[in-house]
Chain A
Amino acid sequence: MAVAAASMPSAPTETAAWLAWVEAARGGDRAAFGRLHRQFGRVVHGLLLARVDPSSADDLTQDVFISAWQRLHELREARAWPGWLSAIARRRALDHRRQLVRRPGTLPPELEDDQARHAEHALARSDAERMLTIIRALPEAYVEPLLLRLVEGMSGPEIAEHCDLSPGYVRVNLHRGMKLLRERLEQER
């Protein structure tokens, strides 16, 4: 019981913390923005990982935070920071995919068809990338919560808070996505 209580996220305190950091960052406090970067870096990375390859996700995460820093004056309310940052990350991933499509002769892994996907499975550098590919093939509503939970190690309440989602929505999609993922993994074996 004590372990469970200690592991429970202290949501009000954390929320008050990042709200104060956002306010401070809007006032030009780069240190506060650095704390936001460390706090929300996992969320941005997980959202990008649902759409781009892992090698590009790290660089794009930095780009997202730089873009957020430069456009911080557009943020009306500090409480809207999680949703606003998530929107920037999703848009940045789409832009990255469009840029790859425009380049002749290149095709990002997330855009390859099923046959190429099977080939990618064969050439997977690790089991992690193979599992990542399987998760991406799931319905879109399950991908983000599963990646944030399994890759970034975030709990359900943290995902809900940092992505501006309801806990019930995250819980349902986590369980449904996990069930579907088990079935796909069973089929792979």
Chain B
Amino acid sequence: MSQPDPLFDMDGPADAELARLERELGRLRWHARELPREALVALPSRARVDDTELSPRPSSSGASRRTWRVPERALPWLVGLAAAAAVLVVAFVTRPTPPEPERVPAPLIQPAGSPPAPDLRDPFAGPREADAPTQTPALRDPFTPRQIAKTPTAPTHSDLVNPFESDRSASWPASSTRPVEEPQGLVDPFTRNHNAAARPDLRDPFAERSESSANATSPAADMPGSRSPDLVDPFSRPH
């Protein structure tokens, strides 16, 4: 048989110290008071709410119909979800429209499958072999001298001299067969020198001018009008 434990079981005689503590501290003991009735009026009891929610409700048609109600705890979440969805919809509607992509211009070059119209000509295309004879001399491309030179049969205007012709003329050994008398006295200097060496009977029209212009200090001295005696070259050195 176990010993009586007055402290734990409250069984058996308590010692003087324990009795004194019980007596003194017993004055602080809780005295039951009625709970205020107004505080117990509203009862958000789940049991009662569930009972009322799950009980079948009579409908007009007589058939029992279960009604779905949003739980109170889920209400803030649902409200937040709806607000987020509304914000997304507004952001989608009011989003800035992307700029329209720049329209790619239609290619000016017609595809190879369809032949170009005969009256249309590509101005940037180089002269073709077939077009070379029919090309107008006045519209000669100055940047393609060698291509033009390759067409010896092409008629050239008499008063137009190809400045790039000199390169080729210098390398021509049979240049003497070319016409020496150029119209209007315009002779290719290389041709002139060559002819002067080959044919002494031909006078170099520029020889005299070259000698006279050796002393000239200004390009104006080579001008045709500068031969006038009453004209003084303002750029010439004073003798």
A residues neighboring B (CB under 8 Å): 4, 7-8, 26-28, 30, 33-34, 37-38, 41-42, 44-46, 49, 54, 57-58, 61-62, 65-66, 69-70, 72-74, 126-129, 131-132, 147, 149-153, 155-157, 170-171, 174-175, 178, 181-182, 185
Contact = CB atoms under 8 A, between A and B. Distances in A.
Nearest to B40: A30
Contacts of A149: 7
B47 to A, nearest CB: 5
Contact of A131 (B4, B7, B24): B24
B40 A151 contact: no
Interface in B1-52: 4-5, 7-12, 17-18, 21-22, 24-36, 39-40, 42-49
A178 B7 contact: yes
A43 to B, nearest CB: 9
Interface of B: 4-5, 7-12, 17-18, 21-22, 24-36, 39-40, 42-49
A132 B44 contact: no
Contacts of B5: 156, 171
Contact of A70 (B8, B28, B33, B44): B44
A155 B8 CA distance: 6
A14 to B, nearest CB: 15
Provide the main secondary structure of the chain B interface: loop
Contacts of B11: 4, 7-8
A70 B45 CA distance: 8
Nearest to A130: B24
A50 B10 CA distance: 21
Q: Which among B22, B25, B32 has the highest number of chain A CB atoms within 10 Å? A: B25
Given A34-B35, A132-B28, A27 B7 contact: no
Contact of B32 (A37, A54, A151, A175): A37
Given A34-B35, A69-B40, A128-B28, A175 B8 contact: yes
B27 A126 contact: yes
24 contacts: A8-B11, A33-B35, A34-B35, A42-B30, A58-B30, A58-B33, A66-B35, A66-B39, A66-B40, A69-B43, A72-B46, A73-B47, A126-B27, A129-B28, A150-B21, A150-B25, A152-B30, A153-B22, A155-B9, A156-B9, A170-B8, A178-B18, A181-B21, A182-B17
A26 B47 contact: yes
Contacts of A155: 8-10
Contacts, number: 116
Given A131-B21, A151-B28, A155-B9, A69 B39 contact: yes
A72 to B, nearest CB: 6
B33 A72 contact: no
Q: Which among B10, B34, B46 has the highest number of chain A CB atoms within 10 Å? A: B10
A128 B47 contact: no
Contacts of B25: 128, 131-132, 147, 150-151
Given A62-B36, A128-B25, A128-B27, A156 B7 contact: yes
A46 B48 CA distance: 32
A150 B8 contact: no
A182 B25 CA distance: 14
A183 B26 CA distance: 21
Nearest to B38: A66
B192 to A, nearest CB: 117
Nearest to A172: B8
B8 A156 contact: yes
A62 B39 CA distance: 10
A171 B40 contact: no
Contacts of A132: 25, 28
Contacts of B32: 37-38, 41
A70 to B, nearest CB: 7
Nearest first, the 7 A-B pairs at minimum CB distance are A73-B46, A45-B30, A156-B8, A155-B10, A150-B25, A66-B39, A151-B25
